[in-house]
Amino acid sequence: MAALSDRRRTIPPDNVDSKRKTAKSVSTNHRKTHRRVAGKTGLRPPLTRQESLRRNIGHVASETYLITGLAFTLLRYLGIGYRWITQLLALGCYAMLLMPGFLQVYLMLNDNLIVILDTWFFYTTCCFAVSPSTWGVAYYYFFSSNVKRSMVYGDQHRNRLDLYLPADIGEPKPVLIFVTGGAWIIGYKAWGALLGLQLAERDIIVACLDYRNFPQGTISDMVNDTSQGISFIINNIANYGGDPNRVYLMGQSAGAHISSCALLEQAARELEKGENVSWRISQIKAYFGLSGGYNLLDLVDHFHSRGLYRRIFLSIMEGEESLKEFSPEIKIQDPCLKSSIPHFPPVYLVHGTADYSIPSVASERYADALKKVGARAELILCEGKTHTDLFVQDPLRGGIDYLFEHAVAVIHNDDSDALAKDAFAPPRSRFVPEILLKLASKISPF
């Protein structure tokens, strides 16, 4: 494991012109790589056409019914409010500006018309959420045989995950578990599809977890679902070519908060139950927190001013009395967890300095709290980056992406062959013109 720095690191703004030239030079090879993604994995026989059709029709019907009901429930909570309606409109414009990049992925992969029904569900779901990542990866997500969609990991309706596999499963591969954001309300596992595609090209298996969103569930449900998903991956990933001894965890925005809570809750559970647990925090090799919020007491008023009203936020977090319980920055200082600290994975907290959805000070303070109790933590501040730059705009921008390369370097740190291969990997191609990315950043409600 790469040694963690005791000081914070600040990453300067990207050299956009140089990244554009590099990305353009490798565009053709990058597209050829995508066409090879759909090769056989040799893990399970494929579904027959009729089996796939039946499964997708059933999935579409059940999910559409659920989303419709949740939409009306959520609207009753939101009511008529200027802030959230303005944010919703801004989100729609943001999505339209980035759509050209998302649509390009359609041209890179195989076709399979049966799953068009599931694509229709994906469309209806994200029309409700107005997700900017909707169109980006839809083709890859539904049409690649290297994506195992909606694998069940628990008994709740949203207890599903998507698995992104490298084209060649030979030796056991490292695994990254990704917990998506979405303001605890509109998270969806498919939003990690571009990350899954890109990391699978570097021989890393990616598991994107779904969890119950509000109002289907509250924060304790989200944390429990995430913990159960982590347990499922650790105990079953060997069946899909993964190495259970090389499992990494990443959370983005609300997902960073939820996954951090899951780690701390698991630490407390281990102290209570001893050996009688389904997974251990020591089994996570490293944790990446992207643009997360870790002290809810400091964020209630901030979220209210941006449209996530106090009444709704407190409903999500199960009341004001629960804010400390679900604030990792506060919880990590609990003396009862002191004996668990040596088993904590190295923590990398990444945040943009121009993030207005969750200010970067949230990661700064959490990093300080972790170091104070003896945990290994490194703070990485990305100069001028917004809340979505690290996860949306930068991957669409192409070229050399610091966050992506840093995560790959940490995951491949103990594998000299993989590091050698990474050194010759071409930078990623550009999907969206720079002018659209800059406009999207200005319009983004995040």
Give residue limits of the domains in the chain: 9-47+148-443
Sign of CA dihedral 259, 263, 269, 275: positive
Residue 228: name the closest of 154, 330, 322 by CA: 154
Q: Which CATH class is domain 9-47+148-443?
A: alpha beta
Residues assigned a catalytic role: 253, 355, 387
Angle at Cα 305 formed by Cα 302 and Cα 311, nearest 5°? 85
> Mean pLDDT in each 10-residue stretch from start to end of the chain (446 residues)?
58 55 42 38 46 54 53 51 58 55 41 35 39 47 79 92 90 96 87 86 95 93 97 97 97 97 96 85 97 96 88 94 97 94 96 93 97 96 88 76 90 93 82 73 67
- What the block records as the tokens of 25 is 């030079």
Give the residue carrying structure tokens 């759909």: 38
Strand order of the β-sheet with 284-290 is 9-11, 377-382, 347-352, 284-290, 242-252, 173-179, 205-209, 160-164, 147-152
The predicted pLDDT at position 99 comes to 52
The string of pLDDT tens digits covering residues 295-322 is 999 999 999 888 788 999 999 999 999 9
The model carries a pTM of 0.76
- pLDDT of 113: 32
pLDDT tens figures, 210-256: 999 998 899 999 999 999 999 999 999 999 999 999 999 999 999 99
